[in-house]
Copies of this chain bind each other. A is one copy, B any other.
């Protein structure tokens, strides 16, 4: 995991991650359930935004959730406790130095993690080692380059590119969603199958206008303002206009599109 984290660790950011999780739970998680008695490694659980859903959808599975950040883990523990879930064990660990024997898990689950890594294929190979033969790998990532909207706006795209560039400078890739097929294939997984999950938002879907366009995506881009200005990536006025144009897409005639990618793969040998 990168030593810096583009989204930061402040409380407002954590609220955003929780909002995002609740709006998108169905879209991203409804087809992930693990059988009772199976063991699942969640790599890079962060503040537990996905952990709660994962544990709720597979109440009989034993989930081990790891993250490199002790403070994130503390929040993840609180979230799991608040949800009265007893099937999750937390452990501090680096994805590149995992404290687990080879072939320890039936399944591995990774969500919004590869986007932050300079060596995503290496990470997938490390995870594959801990997966039993015949086990499954599930990966979910976003792709900021999948964003388009109406009314269109060059400045809104420029503001989004600030986020992409900052994440790149920290070794990550905010456009990684589209690459899940080649990444999993290069890491040696079999039966790789990618399923895009497009979020389409117009005024007939007010919960997404608010929960996704406003509070998830635009809030996330807005959150890199200081870093983008400090890095000299954009003028303040252009950035602010871009953000205004993103909010403009939440008006009654606006439309916003974003796509997450979910991939399934097997370890056959």
**A contacts, CB < 8 Å to B:** 143, 145-146, 148-150, 152, 175, 178-179, 181-182, 185-186, 192-196, 198, 200, 202-204, 252-255, 257, 259
Contact = CB atoms under 8 A, between A and B. Distances in A.
A182 to B, nearest CB: 4
In the A-B complex, the 3 residue pairs with the closest CB atoms: A182-B253, A181-B202, A196-B200
B179 A255 contact: yes
A192 B175 contact: no
Contact of A257 (B186, B196, B202): B196
Contact of A185 (B200, B253, B259): B253
A181 B257 contact: no
A254 B194 CA distance: 13
Contacts of A152: 145, 175
A196 B198 contact: yes
Q: How many copies does the complex hold?
A: 2
A148 B178 contact: yes
Given A146-B257, A149-B178, 7 more contacts: A148-B175, A150-B179, A181-B255, A182-B255, A185-B252, A194-B204, A196-B198
B200 A193 contact: no
A71 to B, nearest CB: 34
A192 B204 CA distance: 8
A195 B145 CA distance: 21
Nearest to A255: B178
Contacts of A185: 203, 252-253
Contact of A259 (B192, B202, B254, B257): B257
A197 to B, nearest CB: 9
Contacts of A252: 185
A193 B182 contact: no
A146 B146 CA distance: 7
Contacts of A149: 178
Nearest to A197: B198
A33 B152 CA distance: 34
A253 B196 CA distance: 17
